Amino acid sequence: MPRVKYTDSDVALMARMMRAEAEGEGKQGMLYVGNVIVNRANADCLDFKDVRNIRDVIFQVQGGNYSFEAVQKGNVFYNRARSAEKRLARKNLESWRQHPAKYSLWYFNPGGECPPTWFGQTFAGQFKNHCYYEPEAGTCDSVYR
């Protein structure tokens, strides 16, 4: 059973997002970004109570802006999804989860060292330029399932 229900359209959209956000960090970096996307679709807490599918996650607006920089700047729309990224997206959607993004709901590229917390969330780890953050214990149990 997949981690979240999805369509072929969701796979293509997620693959484009993964590529736009982390192509420079290779397959592993793109998988970590995919982890965060799927985690948000499954998280019934915090800022993610009203997102239940891949499209909702990718086009979510918070504080007047899209949640992902690739949507804000339009990068997600520059390139079609390639079969390699689609395979990675399906891998995330079906089962793949790994530290540091295993339970992460946020990531960002600080251009330097990762802070120990980010907007009150706990640092889970770093991969190349991206820092990953997971919710404080007890604030979002649904992400740990």
CATH code of the domain made up of 8-105: 1.10.10
Residue 32 · residue 130 · CB < 8 Å: yes
For the stretch 1-36, pLDDT in tens is 999 999 999 999 999 999 999 999 999 999 999 999
Pull the structure tokens for residue 91.
């891998």
Q: Are 21 and 33 within 8 A, CB to CB?
A: yes
Phi, psi of 106 (to 5 degrees): -140, 155
Per residue in 49-60, pLDDT (tens digit) is 999 999 999 999
User: 0.85 exceeded by the pTM?
Assistant: yes
